Amino acid sequence: MARIRTNTPWRQSIIEVLEDNGSPMHYREIARQIKNKELRYCLGNTPETTVNVYITQSIRKYKDNSPFEKVQIGTYRLNNNNLQSQTSTTNFSQIIHAFGKDWDRSKVYWDGASTKILGGKYDLFENSDFSGHCGIFLLQKGHEVIHIGNAGDTTLGECLYLKTIDDLKDKWDKFSWFSFGNMVEREDVVLGREYNVPLYDLLHTFMAVMLNVTQLNTASVHDFHHIKYNQFYRNDRETQSLNRN
């Protein structure tokens, strides 16, 4: 069985490296350790810049509530006074690695098994392809959910593509998805993977998923903010031309 690569969120990756080191670190060394520990398979072209931008924006935005503290230019440590209260909450990213909500079907170039589900974060210099992931997906007409499915034996990209040609093809215009991780090879029995996750975390993760999907409680959005990805797509004219062809 092929190894399932992980794509731990940047925030969690940086915290783990700083915790393991136990002392202040330069952002270049943090990025190097993230790569060496294989915490992320998607590093982008400039992981050092990504780490530095993530930490500095966290400190600028959250100030004393950020999990990071600046020691000197380019060197950071954990804000342990604030970290304890943050890490005591449910660790959703042990189960849900990434998610996208209310993505536009017309913005995807549907190309069979080669379909790409592209997403990124506006505050970071990276885009990722989630077509090879496994997880849960929802088909929507506007904000109404008309179908819920899972991608386990086949990938997220393949499952969504099939829904563009089956009986549901004319019934949805948006989709949402929650990834459990990347499927390196199709024969990987991803659903057979063992997860060492407390029942409390499992229950609250799926409660937060349902709250996000049904929009019954906007507070749950904050639980997922660090693993939420925005849709990345070609310009409208190019995508529509490709889909017509």
3-state secondary structure 116-184: CCEEECCCCCCEEECCCEEEEEEEEECCEEEEEEEECCCCHHHHHHHCCCCCCCCCCCEEEEEEEEECC
C-alpha distances in angstroms, 49 versus 45, 109, 235?
9, 30, 27
Q: E strands within 173-215?
A: 174-182
Please list the residues that pair with 68 across neighbouring strands: 78
Is the whole model's pTM more than 0.75, yes or no? no
What does the pLDDT read at residue 150?
A: 86
What does the pLDDT read at residue 205?
A: 66
What does the pLDDT read at residue 243?
A: 47
- The enclosing H or E element of 23 equals none
In terms of DSSP bridges, do strands 68-72 and 118-120 run parallel, antiparallel, or are they unpaired? unpaired
What does the pLDDT read at residue 99?
A: 86
DSSP letter for 74, please.
T
Provide Rg for the chain, Cα atoms.
Answer: 19
Instruction: Report which residue type is found at 194.
Output: E
Exposed/middle/buried for residue 105 (C-beta within 10 Å: 0-12, 13-18, 19+): middle
Q: E strands within the chain?
A: 25-26, 68-72, 75-78, 98-104, 118-120, 127-129, 133-141, 144-151, 174-182, 230-231
Consecutive 10-residue runs of the chain (245 residues): their mean pLDDT? 57 89 94 90 84 89 86 92 50 70 92 87 66 89 89 85 94 91 49 54 66 54 66 56 46
Query: 């072209």: which residue's tokens?
Result: 45
| Best CA proximity match to 10, nearest among 190, 227, 181 | 227
What does the pLDDT read at residue 17?
A: 94
Rounded Cα distance between 203 and 170, Å, is 34
Which tokens hold the place of 87?
């890490």
